[in-house]
Chain A
Amino acid sequence: MSTPTLQAPSPAGTVRRTGRGLRVLPGDARRPGATVTGDGVVFTVYSSTARRMHLVLFDAGTGAELATLPFPDEYRTGHAFTMTVAGADPDTVHYGFRAEPDGAGPVGPVLLDPYAKALAGGEEWGRRPDYRCRIVDDAFDWQGVTRPRIAPQDLVVYELHVRGFTRGRACGVRFPGTYDGVREKIPYLRDLGVNCVELMPVFEFDETDNPFTDPASGAPLRNYWGYNPVAWFAPKAAYAADPWGAGPVRELKTLVRELHRAGIQVVLDVVLNHTAEGDHRGPVLSLRGLDDGAYYLHGPDGSYRNLTRTGNTVNANHPLTRALILDCLRYWATQYRVDGFRFDMAPILARGQDGSPLERPPLLEAIAADPVLAGCHLIAEPFDADGLDLLGTFPRHGRWMEWNARFQYAVRRFLAGHTTDAAEPALRLRGSPDVYAGHGTGASVNFVASHDGFPLADWTAYEQRHNEANGEGGGDGPHDNASWNAGHEGPTDDPGVLRLRARQVRNALLLVAVSHGVPMLAAGDESGRSQHGNNNAYCQDNETSWLDWAAGDAALLAFTRAVLAFRRAHPVLRRRDHPPAEAPDGGLPPYSLHGERPWQPGADGLLAVLMHRPGQAAEPGDTVFVAANNRPWERRVEPPPPPGGTEWRLFADTGAPPGHDIHPTEGTGHVPVPGPLTLADHSVTVLVAHPMGRNER
């Protein structure tokens, strides 16, 4: 098929005519991507390695190439190829670029615009995509809805996968597995008590990009999680109920708007450490063809550095890449109004152009200091696949928060009985002041389970990974899960084992909820979601991963709602600064450790913590006592005396049967605790000091 191309050179600034009614005018080197203006569409792309660059226009309906337009040399500024194309209807054409490194003509692959705001060609989930860039109109009716402002220590984060959240049984939404499906579940999220959803990757990715097959059926496995971005500015089209045209952009913005209207923030899990282009064997989709050396790390022999175990590593602190990443974050913060980002393998962003960690990575500093991002939560996954672990030492610049894996490991090990020493979990409940000294409790995102590893219910049911269905012989996924199966591996009818597991799930949820820092839950853990022992379900686009709304544990869900409401009601659990262990005025310390007897910490397998916040002006005091017994026997614990004028009341006792483990702390049905507690084996009890004689009905 022949396509029209420009024929004769013309002086700078004059209009050039092409076939198909297209006219070419000067562009704007300061506007990367495709921008609709009054004159037409401005196309700009940067490349220091291309001698010439060509714009390829496609028919939006058929995908057929319509025209190839070279960027005129006289419009070029430095390494910026730019021009305005008049007569190109944004609704009927798609586009891409062809770089010409050596003057041989536009024979290379069609490259995606790194700034493409939407991609066509990937609308159907599970079908091999044929990507092209869309021209997007950023206008959207936000209906006057403003962002909720929530301080880090007040957040309750809920991590979810857009598809998996509503793709399972009995989800009860019109469009399962979509942005719209999540929107329909907003009442559920509100009722649960979370105020921030963290969306697993929603940048356009190719789920068919997985070489492994189901060992049982031979069917290809999907790259379901989506940690392989193709375009950093484009939403995943196949997640939209209407994946065509402007549908995905509109639908994701609508989801953000409606979450905001419900008082729920949105954090995006962003993968900026690698791309779907892989190593030298991977597809040349975009950055590789435009400026390979600027966007990716290479070894001395020119091979791709593979610090992410995905094939390539983004050269994040190269100035060109840094600008791209900053522009990307600003775009999502302004055009989608998201409230923050969780950075996958964030230490990659702290590496220099030789791959070694930098003391002051310019990118991280720039993100932290960026005025547009000033209101955004910045959450680092503080380790990468090459073993660089920056937990506690991640360059924070007063802004960055971290997924606190030490919290996860310490709480897991303690509850699983792998240690009887409560010293470390006591630090974790305090907001990890040993790790985040001077940075406040909000630096620590506390969780026991996330998308990585076992779901919470499986953490209580499996000691070994069971990943055979992933097609890698069962050897993938983390080996050490700090888990305990309560005496039997996997499913069982043994009531004793089941009772223990139910306790352990509640123990973990309760400790996360009463800890200083930012609690995070993985979707489904509030109702007992299981992956049947698979601890690396990245490729399980099926019932293993999807939330089964019919199988939810109603009693556990009620428990979770109650503990999140408890956290909301008690500011002593949400203090911004790490509570000191000494009282400034000789009264109760803000944070104190105890044992079977008050003020005598160190009891084997017993974590007993008193959290106290004295009354201030109009605000009453707030005091909570937490006791966790990880020993397989019952024990007697005497709580410290409550503050004057208050009495201890029972809020939670996970040793009680499900459905009887939560109690109102006010009004009818409250349970006073006048004396010592009896802690069941493997259980957690929470008391609250309540003013005597108040709110009694």
Chain B
Amino acid sequence: MSFEAYLGFTDSTATVYLSGDLTDKRVPALRSLVEHAVQRPLSRLVLRMTDLESISAGGVRCLAFAQQQLPQGADIVVDGAGPQIRQMLRSGGFDQAVTLLAETPVFDDQIAA
């Protein structure tokens, strides 16, 4: 399944929607979105992975890069990640640095918006 990614903002939350198979070849597209997102002052980065089928090592590295780029105190929330992706995040050593959720969350500020 081809990989697609797009980015949306709600107040200080950036949400990256990911779907398909994230291969090393498609990592630059994700990296570009991440670089764009972190140029704004963010309190939260949500990675919506419900429709993400698989992730390559390069994709995990890209998410690690995103985690490095966020300022202190900003949260990364990963929602809907399947078991394979969760295992990859653990292998990347930053599963402790993100909040893993099974379901799509709605944040208070999004309700207010």
Contact = CB atoms under 8 A, between A and B. Distances in A.
Contacts of A494: none
B2 interface: no
Interface in A245-278: 276-278
A282 B72 contact: yes
Given A1-B24, A106-B57, A107-B57, A128 B69 contact: yes
A362 interface: no
Interface string B1-39: 000000000000000000000001001100000000011
B100 interface: no
Interface string B72-83: 111110000000
B97 to A, nearest CB: 6
Interface string A32-75: 00000000000000000000000000000000000000000000
A285 interface: yes
A105 B72 contact: no
Interface residues of A, number: 36
B25 to A, nearest CB: 8
Interface residues of B, number: 31
Contacts of B72: 209, 211, 228, 276-279, 281-283, 310-311
A208 interface: yes
A589 interface: no
Contact of B24 (A2, A99, A105, A220): A2
Given A128-B39, A211-B43, A109 B74 contact: no
Contact of A284 (B27, B41, B75, B97): B97
Nearest to A218: B41
Given A1-B58, A99-B93, A101-B93, A109 B43 contact: no
B86 interface: no
Contacts of B28: 1
Decide if the interface of chain A is mainly helix, strand, loop or mixed. loop
A108 B64 contact: yes
Nearest to A276: B72
Interface in B47-87: 57-58, 60-61, 64-65, 67-76
Contacts of B96: 280
B57 A285 contact: no
B92 interface: yes
Counting chain A CB atoms within 10 Å of each CB, which of B38, B43, B58, B61 scores highest? B61
A278 B93 contact: no
Contacts of B38: 128
Contacts of A220: 41
A102 interface: yes
B46 to A, nearest CB: 14
A550 to B, nearest CB: 32
A211 B74 contact: yes
A216 interface: no
B91 interface: yes
A284 B24 CA distance: 22
Contacts of B75: 281
A164 interface: no
B71 A209 contact: yes
A104 B84 CA distance: 13
Counting chain A CB atoms within 10 Å of each CB, which of B58, B93, B96 scores highest? B93
Nearest to A103: B91
Contacts of B39: 128
Contacts of A210: 71
A137 interface: no
Counting chain B CB atoms within 10 Å of each CB, which of A99, A107, A208 scores highest? A107
Contact of A211 (B41, B88, B92, B97): B41
A210 B65 CA distance: 18
Contact of B88 (A106, A107, A131): A107
Contact of A107 (B67, B70, B76, B91): B91
A434 interface: no
B27 to A, nearest CB: 8
Given A2-B24, A128-B39, A228-B72, A284 B67 contact: yes
A281 B58 contact: no
A206 B74 CA distance: 15
Contacts of B60: 107-108
A289 interface: yes
A107 B92 contact: yes
Counting chain B CB atoms within 10 Å of each CB, which of A104, A208, A279, A310 scores highest? A104
Interface of A: 1-2, 99, 101-102, 104-110, 128, 130-131, 206, 208-211, 213, 220, 228, 276-285, 289, 310-311
Instruction: List the 4 shortest-distance A-B pairs measured between CB atoms, nearest first.
Output: A104-B91, A109-B64, A278-B72, A108-B93
Given A107-B57, A220-B41, A281-B76, 18 more contacts: A1-B28, A99-B93, A101-B91, A105-B91, A107-B60, A108-B92, A109-B64, A211-B41, A211-B43, A276-B72, A278-B73, A280-B97, A281-B74, A281-B97, A282-B73, A283-B67, A284-B93, A311-B72
